[in-house]
Amino acid sequence: RKFLPEKTRHKRQTLQDMTRPLKLWLVKHRDNPYPSKSEKMELVKVSHMTLTQVSNWFANARRRLKNTVRGDNFTWAKRIKAYNKCAEGNVELLSLPSS
């Protein structure tokens, strides 16, 4: 009887693990949350997402932040704080370093 080698399963990263580098980048660059093409390519490598997925994630994240606090006089940092206060359910908050 022949024994077949066990198939190795490649464990897919969880969504939180994939988006964590994007969230860290967003918080770090909260004054201008628009990554350049080269920055997106670096994020593609660390998040194991495609360039389209990374681009869409940032567009959706900025939209979520804008919809949380409406108005032109809010900085991105203030929007992130407001988002964290309003976030409900199984959502990972955007952590701001204390300043």
Q: What is the pLDDT of residues 13-48, one digit of tens each?
A: 788 888 999 999 998 998 899 999 999 999 999 999
Instruction: With respect to residue 60, please indicate whether it lies within any of the assigned structural domains.
Output: yes
Number of domains in the chain: 1
Q: Give the distance between the most distant pair of CA atoms in the chain.
A: 73
Instruction: With respect to residue 99, please indicate whether it lies within any of the assigned structural domains.
Output: no
Identify the residue with better confidence: 99 or 50.
50
pLDDT for the residue numbered 29: 94
Q: Domain of 49: which CATH number? A: 1.10.10
Tokens of 46: 């660390």
Instruction: With respect to residue 98, please indicate whether it lies within any of the assigned structural domains.
Output: no
CA 50-89-75 angle, to 5 degrees, is: 70
Instruction: With respect to residue 81, please indicate whether it lies within any of the assigned structural domains.
Output: yes
- Range(s) of the domain holding residue 48: 15-30+37-86
Instruction: With respect to residue 19, please indicate whether it lies within any of the assigned structural domains.
Output: yes
DSSP code, position 31: T
